[in-house]
Structures are given as structure tokens and as C-alpha cells.
Structure 1
Amino acid sequence: MTLQATSMALPERPTSTWTGWGQWLALATMTIDHLTRYVLPGHLDLAWAGSSLGRIAFPLFAAMVAWHGLFNTRNPQRYARRILIIGLVAQLPYMMMPRASDAFILNVCFTLALGLAWGAWLRDALGRLQQGGTDLHLLLGLVFSVAAWQVAGHWVEYGHRGLLLIPLFMLAMHQLHAAGPALQQRLGAALLAAPVLVVAGLMNSSDMAKSFTVATCLVVLWLAAGAHRLAPSVPLVMPRRLWLGWYPGHFALIALWLWASGGLA
């Protein structure tokens, strides 16, 4: 079976209206996760919220980054650098959050930025391979990128599976969007979407967390397959400063609260 993949000659560019809703949902579910984990007293027994609603945030952020990196930006590497800057600003307050382990971990913005940079590079590399450009530099680059993934996965939030999610999303989104009406093309696109769901299912331990993560990925893949046309405009567009500043800002506020309440002692 021949797959139409990764030359990236897409049909019309899909609408991104759904990402306006995704931004609000991602920030809300991330904040719920962090409040239940770091701020709200344990006797309230709200861990279920982090294991359910809180598991929507990361796959949704990853999906939006993959979507914009694939469809909406001419320079994914520059987009990745912007995410990396947010991660650098957020790293200090992120490190102040109480954790079971003292191991040094880079926050999720590093996961998103590295995943996007890797996904964009792999997209270009696969396109060159399809055009017969199998030179030594390209093969060495592929080997190096896998080695870098293996090393970086020990240092970033969500680990190796988190780094895989954006490249897999980009491949699946491209195939789902570009597939024609033929059954063979649809089946090929569905096959390339399956690894996204497998990785999403492996990212969590509890059945509840797995179900919310996988369901989030399924919805985004459905949008890539054509349902993006059904999304209405969001009534209130998220201010750009709020979108860029919420991640480091909410960690700073949580750290301040923990310090004032003695939680950082």
C-alpha cells in the first residue's frame, strides 16, 4: 500500500478556529491540574480533577503547537524558539513547586519546543528522502536526532513520550488533512494516526488519566480529518499577553502562595 506522505504539498490550508477554544481549555485544565497538585489542601480529595481534566492540557498544548507548526507558520524553528523563551522564564518558579523527587526537570515548554523542532526537522528530512535525497549528512542527522531524543527525554517533563507526541501529531495531521476520498488513502491516514493514540495511552498510569488523554488526541485528529470546518468562532479571543504570560505567571503566583503559607519551608 502506497501512502501519500510528507512531501507536505497540502490541499487548502485548514481553518484554525478551533484553536481559539483550545487555548482557553488548555489554560483552564492546566491550572486545575496545578491548583489541585500544589495549592488546594489534600483533605479536599480533589486528586481526581488532576487525573481527569488535568490530563487534557498537555496533549492539547502539543496538538496546537503541532497544528500551528504544520499549517500556520513559515518558520517552525523560530516558533520553537519562542516557546523555549517562555520555558526559560518559567523554569525558576517551576523548580519551586514541591515534588516527590529532587531530580532536575525542565518544564513542559522545553518538551513542546524540542518536540516541535524535531518534528519540523523530521518532516523536512522525510520529504528529502522521498525525493531521493539519501545522502550521508541526512542519515547522520537522523541518527543524531534519535540520540538527542534519547538523552533529552531524561530531562524534560513528560519524558521521551512527551517529546514524541508533536512529531507524531504532525505526521498524522498532515495525512488526515491531505488524504483524498479513496478508501486506501483514508486507511493509510488512520494507520499513521494510531501511534499518536498509543503514545498518549502510555503517558499515564491510571485508566482515568489514559482515557482523558487519548480522548483529547482523538478529538484533535478528528479536527484534522475535516471537522475543523465545523468549529465556530470563539466569542472571546484570548489576549496574546495572557496566552504568553500565563504559564510562567501562574507558577510565580503559586510559588508566592506556597512561600506565604509556609508550603516552601
Structure 2
Amino acid sequence: MDQQDAAERVAATPYTLGSGARELLKWLALVMMTGDHVAKVVFGGYLPVASELGRVAFPLFALVMACNLAQPGADLGKSIRRLLFWGVIAQPVHALAFGGWLPVNILLSFVVAALVILALERQRAWLLLLAGGVLPAFVDYQWIGVAVVVLGWIGFRRRLWWLPLLGLAALCWHNGNGWALFSVPVLLAVGRVRWTVPRWRWAFYVYYVGHLALLAAYAQLLR
């Protein structure tokens, strides 16, 4: 009986990327995303290498977020409020930079994914219908993007390492290329090292809004 209990505890323990590794992956993804945004706004949509690496940014963000939310004691409500706050601030400059209000910026996309996870945890059918069925129509990568986060969250919590690959495969189909799968070796390589990267939470959000504001200013000067 003791051995069975121990086995169940191991099976229920989420795979853990260290805090430093998660922070490093988040900043790597932000740099990749910045390059992709510059390619879209400054170079008319495509810049070699930068545009390809941009396809890696979203799955890295999604898997890091999934791992964060899978940690014991993760505060879903706090994460949703923080993402919503900064996502609302970022949305006007995001719209000015890219010439439209839809799809919404990535922070609001992750709000939708977190709401789906909240609905699953609290068994709220109406919230699941809204967040999983309706709201993805307004976010980048739509239902596939939300699925990458949710499948990653389930995979980290249940130790089903193959499950996030289904979402990444769908993302590759959506993008028309296989670059999203490159996020897996990047995550594994970074995750094997114990990094001591400080957690600059506010700096991350300020940078995200700031780089969009600069791109928005550039886009408005050209119009």
C-alpha cells in the first residue's frame, strides 16, 4: 500500500522547469518575438532568420506559462488579473503597430488560455464554453494557440510528456512550417541546467509594452 501511495505521488508531481530556466526561456521568447515584430512592421512582413525564430516564440511562451500554472500552489486568479492588466495596456499600441485590433496581443491570448484552465479546475461549464469556444476567435492562433497552453498544462501536471506535442503539431499545421517544434529542444536544453536568472516580472511587461509602443510610433510615421 505504501509503495502504491508513493507511486501515485510521483505520478501526480508535475515536471518542473527551474525558476531560473523558466525566466530565461521567457526572455529568449521575448527576444524572438521582438525580431518577428520588427520584421512585420519595419521590413514588410519577412526578415530571414528573425521571422523563422518568431515561430518559436509563441510555443516557448505557451509551454513556460503551462509549466508555471502547473506548479503546486499556482494562483490562477492572480495570473489572469496580471495578464489582463498588462494586456489591456498593451492593446492600443499593439493595434497601432499592426494596423488592427484583432487578433489581440499575446497577453490577452494567454488570459483566454488561463480562463480555460480555471474552468477545468473549477468545473465551470459556462466559463469553459465561453473561454474555450468563443473567445479564441479573437486571439492569435485562435483555438490552436489556446490548446497549446492547455495541453501543456495537462502534460506538466500529469507527466504526459507527449501531450503538448499534439498542440505543437497543430501549430505547425497552422503556420505551414515546422518551426514550432524547435521549441522542444530549446526547452529541454535550457531545462537541464540550473540557471540563476533573477525574476524581473515588471521589467518583462514594461519591455513588452515599450517595444510595441516604439513599433507603433514607427508605423504611424510611415502612414
Q: TM-score range, shorter-chain basis?
A: 0.7 to 0.9
**What's the CA shift string for 1:172-222, capped at 9, x where partnerless?**
11233xxxxxxxxxxxx34534423323323312x2xxx2212204554x4
Matched-pair identity in %: 23
Separation in 2, partners of 1:10, 1:98: 41
**What's the CA shift string for 1:97-120, capped at 9, x where partnerless?**
244xx5633211111111022124
Please list, as runs of the form range in 1=range in 2, the aligned pairs for 1:156-175 lying within 5 A after superposition.
Answer: 156-175=139-158
Aligned partner of 2:51 in structure 1 is: 51
SS of the residue corresponding to residue 154 of structure 1 reads helix
SS of the residue corresponding to residue 203 of structure 1 reads helix
Aligned pair partner of 2:119 in 121, 143, 156: 121
Separation in 2, partners of 1:109, 1:55: 16
Cα offset, 1:154, TM superposition: 1.4
Cα offset, 1:14, TM superposition: 5.3
Contact 2:66–2:149 (CA<8 Å) still a contact in 1?
yes
Separation in 2, partners of 1:117, 1:249: 26
Structure 2 CA distance for partners of 1:147 and 1:27, relative to 1, 3 Å: closer
Please list, as runs of the form range in 1=range in 2, the aligned pairs for 1:200-239 lying within 5 A after superposition.
Answer: 200-205=171-176, 207=177, 211-217=178-184, 219-220=186-187, 222=188, 228=191, 230-234=192-196, 237=198, 239=200
Separation in 2, partners of 1:48, 1:91: 27
| RMSD between superposed Cα atoms in Å | 2.9
SS of the residue corresponding to residue 65 of structure 1 reads helix
Aligned partner of 2:169 in structure 1 is: 198
Q: Which amino acid counterpart does residue 104 of structure 1 have in structure 2?
A: L
Q: Which amino acid counterpart does residue 63 of structure 1 have in structure 2?
A: L
Please list, as runs of the form range in 1=range in 2, the aligned pairs for 1:1-265 lying within 5 A after superposition.
Answer: 9-10=12-13, 15-40=18-43, 42=44, 46-71=46-71, 73-99=73-99, 104-122=102-120, 124-125=121-122, 138=123, 141-142=124-125, 145-176=128-159, 189-205=160-176, 207=177, 211-217=178-184, 219-220=186-187, 222=188, 228=191, 230-234=192-196, 237=198, 239-259=200-220, 262-263=221-222, 265=223
SS of the residue corresponding to residue 32 of structure 1 reads helix
Matched pairs, number: 215
SS of the residue corresponding to residue 47 of structure 1 reads coil
Contact 1:29–1:53 (CA<8 Å) still a contact in 2?
yes
Contact 2:113–2:131 (CA<8 Å) still a contact in 1?
no
Separation in 1, partners of 2:182, 2:16: 25
Cα offset, 1:238, TM superposition: 5.7
Structure 2 gap ranges (5+): 1-6
Separation in 1, partners of 2:30, 2:173: 23
Structure 2 CA distance for partners of 1:119 and 1:257, relative to 1, 3 Å: same
Contact 1:69–1:120 (CA<8 Å) still a contact in 2?
no
Contact 1:172–1:192 (CA<8 Å) still a contact in 2?
yes
Q: Which amino acid counterpart does residue 83 of structure 1 have in structure 2?
A: L
Structure 2 CA distance for partners of 1:232 and 1:74, relative to 1, 3 Å: closer
Structure 1 gap ranges (5+): 126-137, 177-188
Structure 2 CA distance for partners of 1:63 and 1:118, relative to 1, 3 Å: same
Contact 2:119–2:127 (CA<8 Å) still a contact in 1?
no
TM-score by length of 1: 0.70
